Structure 1
Amino acid sequence: MKAIVSDGGFGTRFEDVPDPLPRDDEILVEVQATSINRADLLIASKQPRGTQLGIDFVGTVLTTAADGSGPARGQRVVGLAKNNSWSEVVAVSTDRVATLPGELDAPAGAVLPVAGLTALYALERAGSLLGRSLLVTGANGGVGHLAVQLAAASGADVIAQIRENGRQFALDELPDASRISIEAADSAGAAPIDVLLDSVGGAVTAGAFARIRKGGNAVFFGNTVREDLHLRPDWGHARPGVRIEWLYLLDEITRRDVPADLSVLVRLAETRRLRPHIGGSFAWSDIDKALRSILDREVGGKVVLTL
């Protein structure tokens, strides 16, 4: 079968690879759509040439699991693969998939696994959000635009911080838009916040940190600028009780009921209470163009590949 593999740095190429051999708890899925996460780019840049790539996918079950678990043959599913979803067929554990209703198209579904679960789990770490002020950095990114919507639906007063490509954040199209305000990353005199969800890093994170009230929360799940974080020596004394956590999705899912959590996101998207934004949709033969659109920050939301 054909698969997209790493070719050094951020480069990729198509290669013939062996068909996957499923374990007893795995299904075989014919992939219809997948999406690109920044983590995929980092993995590609660090792995040897020829390494398969990709986590998110939507597809149709070709073969059921030998142990009887999971969805039936012919059902559409959405899930997380082990860095091999940019391929024609993937073998995936039944505890990493959820069924996908016909009302939700494959590209929209492919946005949900990594970005949606990261947003969902980060907000859970923050605790009750009702009436609290919450800042999302990188709010027009893959995780950020979903976190903004989920936080607003949970009763938070959300500040969506946009560093660039802000024009692609269509606030008036979002549910609970009255609870969301947009802010530039370099805003002066910015208001204090109760909760910070950050994936940017560097000076943006330091500025957001300085706004957290005593007893607030900060949840980190990325560092897209790849810069160190520098804080004043007295930062902690000025903000006692602030809880700081790091969320790494691939570790988090080892302790989570992924099918149930994915199903929550699917239901929200199906009923339009969560609206995944596809900034770019490419045939998988155009993988180089798709990767370039992310590296050059040409798009907001997520980039999707269709097979």
Structure 2
Amino acid sequence: MLDQESSGTAYTWGKPPQPPAPEDTVKALVTTAPAPLTLELRSVPDPRPRPDEVLVEVHATALNRADLLLAARRPAGSPLGLDVVGTVLRPASDGTGPAAGARVTGLAANNAWAELAAVRADRLTVIPDGVTDTDAVTLPVAGLTALYALRRAGWLLGKHALVTGASGGVGRTAVQLARAGGSEVTAWVGSAARGKGLADLGAQVVTGYDEPPTAPVDILVDSVGGDVFSTGYGLLRPGGVATVFGNTVRAELRLPADWGHARPGVRIEYLYLLDEVTRRDVPADLALLLDLVVAGKLTASPGLLTPWTDPQRAIDALYSREVNGRIVLSM
């Protein structure tokens, strides 16, 4: 008898049993507590891409408020990370997406805070020369959210757009895209410090929450909720559009008593990015944003850049709202 089996372990005659081959691992940031979020650098198994996924060596990622919400819904030890920039080590085996060696950015599936990530080929686009990794990684979540919010609003030329939470990554991008589309833009922020630089990005009016705007608007892009949303909604002209993509104050959305008949034709749209991308051409939309950066029409530089091996600085900055724009973790 050449082979025999004992206790579930296979043996070859004349050779001692061999231990299983060790699993290859990579370093990744995983959650240790959700609220407040804490992370730990651990060794995790190498990603195993599906046929429609690309294996990416990660160069940079970013920290979003969405990550805080996702962390609260997942058990300790979970990976996170939506924004990804890196180099394609292995293209998708089904033949789709970027080729090996391409420098790419895109949306990962909560696994970008790692040395390697498997990312869907239809969630990536190639980064053009002239755009840095740390600039490119600011665009997937924030850039696509702003772009889709304004597309939901429709025609921009000659309109007046009000952007709440305008100091954040999405808000700053929405201000620039609305202005590039021909809209007059009012940026509404929490304080004078939070409004710094927004006039340079195209906002004609920058005001704080203690001094609400009073001019009628055609478009409301809101991420704040509560009284800010209610006030902004009250400024909409008939036929206007409110696009809501967040609720940072975690309050009920309230409408004025005359919300309907006083504003005929007004629409309220809710945007959830991870659902929206299922109906969008993500590579083409990311390429559009990158082309605007190359052309000098969109500023995408991070507000804070910190090493991924020490993420606490980034987490503290996100909770304290001390950073204008995106928080980027460099690998």
Q: Give the TM-score normalised by the residue count of structure 2.
A: 0.89
Report the counterpart of residue 16 of structure 1 in structure 2.
43
From 155, 158, 165, give the equivalent of 1:128.
155
Report the counterpart of residue 66 of structure 2 in structure 1.
39
Structure 1 residue 160 and structure 2 residue 184: aligned?
A: no
Report the counterpart of residue 219 of structure 1 in structure 2.
243
Q: For residues 189 and 219 of structure 1, do their structure 2 counterparts lie closer, same or farther at Cα, with a shift above 3 Å needed?
A: closer
Contact 2:47 2:117 in 1 (8 A): yes
**Structure 1 runs of 4+ with >6 Å offset:** none
Structure 1 residue 150 and structure 2 residue 177: aligned?
A: yes
Instruction: Map 1:50-129; keep pairs closer than 5 Å.
Output: 50-129=77-156
Contact 2:189 2:208 in 1 (8 A): yes
Give how far 1:2 is off.
Answer: 0.7
**Between Structure 1 and Structure 2, how many residues are aligned?**
304
Structure 1 stretch displaced more, 231-240 or 152-161: 231-240
Give how far 1:289 is off.
Answer: 1.1
Report the counterpart of residue 21 of structure 2 in structure 1.
none
Contact 1:165 1:300 in 2 (8 A): no
From 22, 28, 53, give the equivalent of 1:3.
28
Q: CA RMSD in A?
A: 1.3
Report the counterpart of residue 268 of structure 1 in structure 2.
292
Q: For residues 299 and 63 of structure 1, do their structure 2 counterparts lie closer, same or farther at Cα, with a shift above 3 Å needed?
A: same
Could you tell me which runs of 5 or more consecutive residues in structure 2 were left unpaired when the two chains were aligned.
1-25
Deviations 1:134-172 (A, max 9, x none): 100000101000000000000001101111363563145
Structure 1 stretch displaced more, 233-242 or 134-143: 233-242
Give how far 1:189 is off.
Answer: 6.1
The share of aligned pairs that are identical, in percent, is: 52
Q: Distance in 1 between matches of 2:208 and 2:214?
A: 10
Give how far 1:21 is off.
Answer: 0.5
Q: Distance in 1 between matches of 2:213 and 2:78?
A: 47
Contact 1:165 1:299 in 2 (8 A): no
Q: For residues 97 and 165 of structure 1, do their structure 2 counterparts lie closer, same or farther at Cα, with a shift above 3 Å needed?
A: farther
Structure 1 stretch displaced more, 25-34 or 268-277: 268-277
Give how far 1:225 is off.
Answer: 1.2
Give how far 1:27 is off.
Answer: 1.0
Report the counterpart of residue 17 of structure 2 in structure 1.
none
Q: For residues 18 and 138 of structure 1, do their structure 2 counterparts lie closer, same or farther at Cα, with a shift above 3 Å needed?
A: same
Which structure has the larger Rg over C-alpha atoms?
2
Could you tell me which runs of 5 or more consecutive residues in structure 1 were left unpaired when the two chains were aligned.
none
Higher helix share: 1
Report the counterpart of residue 258 of structure 2 in structure 1.
234
Contact 1:81 1:92 in 2 (8 A): yes
Deviations 1:221-271 (A, max 9, x none): 011111112223222221121011101110010111111111000111122
Give how far 1:32 is off.
Answer: 0.4
